[in-house]
Amino acid sequence: EDQVTQSPEALRLQEGESSSLNCSYTVSGLRGLFWYRQDPGKGPEFLFTLYSAGEEKEKERLKATLTKKESFLHITAPKPEDSATYLCAVQVTGANSKLTFGKGITLSVRP
């Protein structure tokens, strides 16, 4: 069974304190790994797609990386507006376009 585990469940950072969010996965065959951001009361917002081990993508203070077993979302010098829940999802070969989501990591950045 395909599984996605995100850790930690919650993370509190001081503004400017860099850190990483982890997404580990166990799948039969990875087609793609997706990161989303979700603000309270809103739908998930797409951030990145990673397709192969070693791939990296960046957007402002965020950088996503991928290995054969896990992905990291690195947050450099976070600001309070980076506070949100970050969701990781995998798309598996042979499963059409379906995504399997992790439970999310709630990030809180204090000014």
Partner 1 sequence: NAGVTQTPKFRVLKTGQSMTLLCAQDMNHEYMYWYRQDPGMGLRLIHYSVGEGTTAKGEVPDGYNVSRLKKQNFLLGLESAAPSQTSVYFCASSYSSSGDYYEQYFGPGTRLTVT
Query: Where on the chain is the footprint of partner 1 (CB under 8 A)?
Result: 31-32, 34, 36, 41-46, 49, 87, 89, 91, 96-99, 101-104
Q: Are strands 62-66 and 30-38 parallel, antiparallel or unpaired?
A: unpaired
Decide whether 15 or 58 has the Cβ nearer to partner 1.
Answer: 58
Nearest to 65 by CA among 98, 7, 23, 16: 23
Cβ at position 18, least distance to partner 1 in Å: 26
Cβ at position 76, least distance to partner 1 in Å: 23
Question: Which DSSP symbol is given to 53?
Answer: T
Cβ at position 104, least distance to partner 1 in Å: 6
Decide whether 47 or 76 has the Cβ nearer to partner 1.
Answer: 47
Decide whether 39 or 56 has the Cβ nearer to partner 1.
Answer: 39
Cβ at position 3, least distance to partner 1 in Å: 11
SS (H, E, C) 62-102: EEEEECCCEEEEEECCCCHHHCEEEEEEEEECCCCCCEEEC
Dist CA 76 CA 80 (whole Å): 12
